[in-house]
Structure 1
Amino acid sequence: MTNGSASTPDRDGVAAPPTLAEVARAAGVSIATASRVLNNSTRVSPEAYQRVCDAASRLGYRRHRAAWGRAQTPVRAVAAVIHAAHRLVFTEPFFARFIGAVEMELAQHDMPLLVTNVSGTLAETVGRYLRAGSVAGVIVVSDHGPLPLSGSLASLGLPVTVVGRPLHPYQVPYVDADNRGGARAAVEYLLGRGRRAIAHLAAPPDTGPGADRRAGYTDAVRAAGLTDLPIAYGDWSQASAAHAMQRLLDQRPQLDAVFAASDVMAAGAVRYLRRVGRRIPDDVAVVGFDDHALATQVRPALTTVRQPIEQIGAVAVRSLLAAAAGELTPEQAATVLPTELILRDSA
């Protein structure tokens, strides 16, 4: 058998399912390495990970489970896996709103929702549990890093939908907001109000929303003919945003506007600006992203970009169930929902 070829027929003339050894041979790695990838271990290189996932998908490799969606397969729960640390899950309002929307949509199909978060080495343990047949499909939220969980799960025949544009080349259905367009609209508004020294409090660049919101900021600033792009990174938290705001002001005290990658980060920026005596928006205008309840609680209330979180949750469920039934359309495979700029007092 050559690399990438199909399995040979058995003695009844029916093609035998591909084995782990065949996947390893097609990927040019050892069986042990292939096994670690398919168990979502972090102890492999990104290059080996990608080769094994591609080989498993190409050969149609399935491990210890039948294809979901056939008539004889019972309906089970759907899992929502949040690829983030506990601290972020319990402080970022996006997750609570999203999970609530998913739960409501699944209730219409009489399907329960299981929720877990994954960080660090726990990804391997959670991946083994999900692949054991306990769930009908998985919605992966905030997938990131060089070894995304979604690629490993999808390569083993588990229906997967990702929330947020995947940054890796592995093809999985996803649902997202127009993060880039929303960020561009926010910065264009600041430019239209006469702001010219606009900084960006950026989210981690290994996440789709973080990368796309930074790109939208860059699009707008460069289109305006400005060459200075002051950017400081945080980890989505208020504390990290306050520290990033301090760094930006130390380097560029003339800043007159800040676009933050989230409302939580914008709140951190507001906290620091007020501490050092900068008036908002007179001295420094602030714009966030998400339009959480927090945006109206901050003083002054935040101008922000609204993303349709509840709609994202509902569409993610529909995409997952369509994929599980083998009825996913090209439109459902990559859904990007519109955003809206909400004007309040901070800009």
Structure 2
Amino acid sequence: MESTGGARRRPTIVDVAAAAGVSRGTVSRVLNGGHWVSPEAAAAVERAIKETGFQANQYARSLVTGRANSVAFLLTEPQHLLFEDPNFSILLRGAAQALAAKGMPLLLMVAGTRDEQQQVLRYVGAGHVDGVLLISTHAGNPVVDALVAQRVPTIACGVPLGHEGAVGYVAADDLGGGRLMTRHLRERGRRTIAMITGPLDTPGGRMRLDGYRAELGDDFDETLVENGDYTRESGVAAMRALLERRPDLDAVFVGSDLMAVGAMQALREAGRSVPDDVAVGGFDDSGLAETLDPPLTTMRQPFARISQEMVRLLLEVVDGETPAAITLPTSLVVRSST
């Protein structure tokens, strides 16, 4: 058996001090903000850190600063949706990139069940993260109530229904996007326009429906509305129900691209062509839309900007600033499905 005694040991603060020609106390002060350290000594310590390959013990630093120097990406949905709904992975990647630029790791947490919610809340409440990026909130969700009660810095993706005054957020303009898609379908000459909504306890489900309703005005008809839950399967079921109830429909606005995949499947099964018989519009433009046959007309959410702004606002709240709210515009992307 070969000896491992020749393995290189990890450099310590003592090695950095020796390389820089300063005391261990000076190195410690540089690592914790550089207070009471001359520019010359600070520069020497920074050079020594690079030369030795030293990495600060984050746990030890957190004891001094009172910060965990990490952020949670908290998805309050069942685990399988993290992989099935492309929106979540896009937001996760964007948040991770924004935090990496600041030298902070992102912890992925899923709280779709009661047990998961309790585990996450214990972990977050113990101070293991500095704040939470809250993804896919539902009205009445106990996780949001607990985060507010524990005063955990939190920024939501979408309007946190019921907590608008306590929790900051970054949202796409769901209402305006709903109006614009409905207007586009009318401008295409469609007269019997149905809608498949997302869950009505979510901001997207509620506000996209509000936009559809507002654009139709007196022409709004409840028999042309069916609810889904943002999954492909719910899009299939909702489209089948609409076709049975209103076979005269000639367009459908679907509240997410993933549900639109299911809706288009149901239309094919019923012998309806898209867009000749029924025009289909979605919402998200996560990358899935352009791969469909025909490619899907949809409302584009600025996911990269949403992630960046969520990180920026959260770090401001961590630093003690008042939670802010931002609503970003959506844009219509016209493809062959309409």
CA distance in 2, matches of 1:177, 1:342: 15
1:288 match: 282
How far is 1:294 from its partner?
A: 1.1
Q: Of residues 312, 326, 338 in structure 2, which corresponds to 1:335?
A: 326
1:200 match: 195
Give 5+ residue unaligned stretches, structure 1.
1-68
1:112 match: 105
Q: Is this contact kept in 2: 1:301–1:346, CA < 8 A?
A: yes
Amino acid at match of 1:120: T
CA distance in 1, matches of 2:140, 2:91: 25
How far is 1:126 from its partner?
A: 1.1
1:154 match: 148
CA distance in 2, matches of 1:320, 1:154: 14
Q: Is this contact kept in 2: 1:263–1:295, CA < 8 A?
A: yes
Q: Secondary structure at the match of 1:133?
A: coil
CA distance in 2, matches of 1:273, 1:153: 42
1:231 match: 225
CA distance in 2, matches of 1:74, 1:260: 43
1:278 match: 272
How far is 1:71 from its partner?
A: 8.1
Q: Tell me the C-alpha RMSD between the 2 structures.
A: 1.7
Establish whether residue 88 from structure 1 lines up as the match of residue 49 from structure 2.
Answer: no
Establish whether residue 320 from structure 1 lines up as the match of residue 327 from structure 2.
Answer: no
Matches within 5 A, 1:16-27: none
How far is 1:167 from its partner?
A: 1.1
Matches within 5 A, 1:133-172: 133-169=127-163, 171-172=166-167
2:251 match: 257
1:132 match: 126
How far is 1:242 from its partner?
A: 0.6
Q: Is this contact kept in 2: 1:70–1:325, CA < 8 A?
A: no
Q: Is this contact kept in 2: 1:266–1:288, CA < 8 A?
A: yes
Amino acid at match of 1:245: M
Establish whether residue 210 from structure 1 lines up as the match of residue 200 from structure 2.
Answer: no
CA distance in 1, matches of 2:161, 2:282: 23
Superposed CA offset, 1:319-341 (max 9, x none): 0000110134xxx6110001000
Superposed CA offset, 1:36-68 (max 9, x none): xxxxxxxxxxxxxxxxxxxxxxxxxxxxxxxxx
How far is 1:276 from its partner?
A: 1.2
Identity of aligned residues (%): 40
CA distance in 2, matches of 1:263, 1:209: 13
Q: Of residues 72, 78, 101 in structure 1, which corresponds to 2:71?
A: 78
1:44 match: none
Superposed CA offset, 1:95-136 (max 9, x none): 000000000000111000000111121212210111011111
Q: Is this contact kept in 2: 1:175–1:312, CA < 8 A?
A: yes
Q: TM-score, normalised by structure 1?
A: 0.76
Segment drifting more, 153-162 vs 134-143: 153-162
1:182 match: 177
> Structure 1 pair 255/74, CA: closer, same or farther in 2 (3 Å)?
same
CA distance in 1, matches of 2:142, 2:308: 23
Q: Secondary structure at the match of 2:127?
A: helix
1:21 match: none
CA distance in 1, matches of 2:152, 2:311: 14
Q: Of residues 168, 174, 186 in structure 2, which corresponds to 1:173?
A: 168
How far is 1:156 from its partner?
A: 1.4
